Amino acid sequence: MTSRIPPYQGNTRSAAIMDRARRRFPGGVNSPVRAYRGVGGEPFVAVRGKGATVWDADGNAYLDYVLSWGPLVLGHAPDSVLEAVQRAMQDGTSFGMPTEREVELADAIAARMPHLEMVRFTSSGTEAAMSIARLARAVTGREHLLKFEGCYHGHADAFLVRAGSGVATLGLPDSPGVPDALAKLTLTCAYNDLEAVERIAREVPLAAILLEPVVGNGGFIEPEPGFIAGLRRIADETGALLVFDEVMTGFRIAFGGAAERFGVTPDLTALGKVIGGGLPVAAYGGRQDLMARIAPTGPVYQAGTLSGNPLAMAAGLATMAGLTREVHDGIVVQTATLVQGLRDIAARLGVPFTASHAGSMWGFFFHEGPVRTFAEAQQSNVALFKLFFHAARRRGVSLAPSAFEAAFMSSAHGPQEVGETLHRLDEAMQAAVNGQE
């Protein structure tokens, strides 16, 4: 890798494909944030990825920090994952019957998260979170849920209330189409506001308190010391279940996820992204006595034609096998270097900026910091973010096209890639500060 910034080839071919896409898909996309509404301009169309790099339809190469929004912890198209999927594929792509790989992946998860005594695989994080809500309501006999502003738990009706991710990027109000009667059952308060949680939990019988243990979908926001332990205490005192939505944080913020990082054990956990290694896999799980309430051992119904799909299980297994503690620790070192490098660049340029990371998940705001709530995230300089985003893209660095999304790292982002990224982002930030892309 040289440290010469490759000339940007433009995106005429991407634009032509997006023109066709817009005739077929709302906004030309199959998931809203991809449409670049958060930054303006035309998305690039991806054609290939390998390691730390993604290529677009015009031949531009980008050092990629989107990484499919988190799953690609070993980088794009790692040989071990490709081989595992190809091997599995030879035996058939789907059975709709039990397979051994499902047990192996559940074992691999439980080895790192022992509190996931039993799990159920689904195909998306949305399904996992939705099923947890149903289970929590069934187990407690209560209807209300408490979530936090800016946290995203997929797009099930119960969670499209003050949600993060694309909902936050687009600045949408709570979604039309969600019945009022249902939306009323989802209470929200500011992240890190333990007093508000305490007040609500003592007033309203809650089935569950759900959170992203480190927020990624409202921008990168960390819990303050004691926040998560406080939620555990309040849940226990009031009879609510504590749910970690680790679809994003799982196997990123620590080798064993949030329970390892914060020393707090949830009752139920949602997983996704990394556990599928880029194929559609998610899961929910937790205490055996709770999970036994799921059909067929219990009455709480939840199912999926492609759940536990053998290709997806193979990709997840290969990813978990590749993500040893040593590999994880190595990614964290590179993430720390990148984040510190960005802080140094911003400090040199005198730009209000705060950046942080938890394991291999990271993020930044053009804001003095600290950012503890989604409301504070919204006070960041989004106009400057947009310029920086486009300046980075022109210089071959792919960041999430929204000021309210986390960024990721992979084992393919070594010291050379990080050094090259900092070189490019230094130029990008200088350009942005001067009002240029």
Ligand X SMILES: *Cc1c(COP(=O)(O)O)cnc(C)c1O
Please report whether residue 353 would count as binding ligand X according to CB under 6 A.
no
Q: Which stretch binds ligand X (CB under 6 A): 45-53, 148-156, 306-314, 397-405?
A: 148-156
3 state DSSP class of 136: helix
Residue 135, H or E segment: helix 125-140
Least spacing, CB of residue 427 vs ligand X, in Å: 31
Please report whether residue 282 would count as binding ligand X according to CB under 6 A.
yes
Answer whether 272's CB lies under 8 Å from 67's CB. no
CA-based torsion, 31, 32, 38, 43: positive or negative: positive
Answer whether 129's CB lies under 8 Å from 210's CB. yes
The CA distances from residue 140 to 147, 189, 284, 291, in Å, are 17, 21, 17, 13
Q: Which stretch binds ligand X (CB under 6 A): 8-16, 119-127, 190-198, 410-418?
A: 119-127
Please report whether residue 145 would count as binding ligand X according to CB under 6 A.
no
Residues that contact ligand X, how many (by CB under 6 A): 15
Q: Which of 218, 223, 272, 286 binds ligand X (CB under 6 A)?
A: 272
Q: Which stretch binds ligand X (CB under 6 A): 92-100, 149-157, 201-209, 378-386?
A: 149-157
Nearest C-alpha neighbor of 105 from the set 244, 245, 212, 251: 251
Cis check: omega of the bond before 370, within 30 degrees of 0: yes
Q: Give the DSSP letter string of 162-220.
A: S--THHHHTT--SPTTS-HHHHTTEEEE-TT-HHHHHHHHHHS-EEEEEE-SSB-BTBS
Q: Name the catalytic one among 273, 284, 386, 426.
A: 273
Q: Give the DSSP letter string of 255-322.
A: TT-HHHHHS---SEEEE-GGGGTTSS-EEEEE-HHHHTTBTTTSSB----TTTT-HHHHHHHHHHHHH
Q: Name the catalytic one among 36, 152, 191, 284.
A: 152
Of 31 and 340, the one with the shorter C-beta distance to ligand X is 31
Please report whether residue 126 would count as binding ligand X according to CB under 6 A.
yes
Of 33 and 384, the one with the shorter C-beta distance to ligand X is 33
By beta carbon distance, the residue nearest ligand X is 125
Please report whether residue 150 would count as binding ligand X according to CB under 6 A.
no
Neighbours of 117 (CB within 10 A): 16
Interatomic CA distance for residues 301 and 324, integer angstroms: 35
Least spacing, CB of residue 162 vs ligand X, in Å: 14
Least spacing, CB of residue 147 vs ligand X, in Å: 11
Least spacing, CB of residue 281 vs ligand X, in Å: 9
Q: Which of 245, 267, 420, 426 binds ligand X (CB under 6 A)?
A: 245
8 is catalytic: no
Of 126 and 380, the one with the shorter C-beta distance to ligand X is 126
Q: Which of 73, 84, 214, 247 binds ligand X (CB under 6 A)?
A: 247
Answer whether 383's CB lies under 8 Å from 22's CB. no
Q: Name the catalytic one among 56, 245, 267, 426.
A: 245
Please report whether residue 395 would count as binding ligand X according to CB under 6 A.
no
Gap between the terminal Cα atoms of the chain: 24
Interatomic CA distance for residues 163 and 173, integer angstroms: 9
Q: Which stretch binds ligand X (CB under 6 A): 244-252, 260-268, 313-321, 429-437?
A: 244-252
State the binding string over 152-191 for ligand X (x if CB under 6 A, else -).
xxx-------------------------------------
273 is catalytic: yes
301 is catalytic: no
Please report whether residue 120 would count as binding ligand X according to CB under 6 A.
no
Please report whether residue 309 would count as binding ligand X according to CB under 6 A.
no
Please report whether residue 217 would count as binding ligand X according to CB under 6 A.
yes
Neighbours of 184 (CB within 10 A): 11
Least spacing, CB of residue 317 vs ligand X, in Å: 18
Answer whether 272's CB lies under 8 Å from 119's CB. no
Going by the DSSP 8-state scheme, the letter that residue 369 receives in this structure is S
What are the start-end ranges of the E strands in 76-185?
118-122, 144-148
Q: Which residues bind ligand X (CB under 6 A)?
A: 124-126, 129, 152-154, 212, 216-217, 245, 247-248, 272, 282
Q: Which residue numbers are catalytic?
A: 152, 245, 273
